[in-house]
Amino acid sequence: MTEFAFSVSLMTEVLDHIKNSKDVSINSIKEMYDSWVPTYDEDLRKHNYRYPAKASEIISEHFSDKNVSILDCGAGTGLVGVELYRLGFKNIAAVDISSKSLAAAEKKGVYKKLVCAEVGKGTLPFDDKCFDAVMCSASFMPTHIRPECLPELVRIVKPGGIIVVLMAQRYIEVVAGDEECFCKYYQLEFEEVTQDLEGSKKWKLISKNVIPNLMLNKAALTFVWKVL
């Protein structure tokens, strides 16, 4: 830990600092989350973190069959997996760059498979068309998972399956009172990649919604794409 010598419970402030820097290494992000593990779940609970509940609600809305295979992408300590499992989904895999977060997730006993890997432009260790759904809860943000990985996520989802992204609104849209958090390079990349996939008929946008107060008083965007 070097540049992240702070109280990790202050996640929003931390991310505000790093959001405009494309140069934060993925290794720094990994170290940050590795060191956060002992207090992550409790810190997020105190921040009234409702992304996992929303994520599992979206999956439930799309699938009545509880046997569908779901990849929790940027799974962290497994908060989304716990919610999905509680709703009856048992066929869940996790991928994350932080091995210590994944070790905490494994202890929750809700994942069938846990893979430590970077989600990026490179190939993920999953077969083509092997998941019914990929869920990305709070893992898309500047310096974290970048939109450039989306074609790779499309590769591993079955036709008719879905890719879901829940992310803080203020990073890709200008939000009153939070203008300084807007991250132009991330917004441009997000638009370019998502529209390319739409234009090349690799996927179709099913829904985009703004959900207020998904963490403290901050709004989130939810995107659901159907893979074609």
Ligand X SMILES: C[S@@+](CC[C@H](N)C(=O)[O-])C[C@H]1O[C@@H](n2cnc3c(N)ncnc32)[C@H](O)[C@@H]1O
Q: Which residues bind ligand X (CB under 6 A)?
A: 26, 29, 33, 51-52, 74-76, 79-80, 96-98, 101, 118-120, 137-139, 144-145
- Closest separation between CB of residue 30 and ligand X, Å? 6
115: enclosing H helix or E strand: strand 113-116
CB atoms within 10 A of CB 91: 16
Among 139, 142, 155, 113, CA closest to 223: 139
- Please, what is the minimum distance in Å from the beta carbon of residue 138 to ligand X? 4
- The distance of closest approach from Cβ of residue 157 to ligand X in the complex, given in angstroms and rounded to an integer, is 17
Which residues lie closer than 8 Å to 153 by C-beta, 6 or more apart? 73, 119, 134, 136, 163
Cβ nearer to ligand X, comparing 119 with 153: 119
Distance in Å, CB of 137 to ligand X, minimum: 4
Comparison of 75 and 227: residue with beta carbon closer to ligand X: 75
Pairing between β-strand 218-227 and β-strand 157-168 as defined by DSSP bridges: antiparallel
Using the minimum distance from each CB to ligand X, give the nearer residue, 96 or 189. 96
Report the distance separating Cα 176 and Cα 128, nearest Å.
41
Q: Buried (b) or exposed (e) across 113-123, using 16+ Cβ within 10 A?
A: ebbbebbeeee
Nearest-CB residue for ligand X: 76
Q: Which of residues 51 and 228 has its CB atom nearest to ligand X in the complex?
A: 51
For ligand X, give the closer residue by CB, 152 or 201: 152
φ/ψ of 224, rounded to 5, equals -125, 120
Q: Smallest gap, in angstroms, from Cβ of residue 228 to ligand X?
A: 25
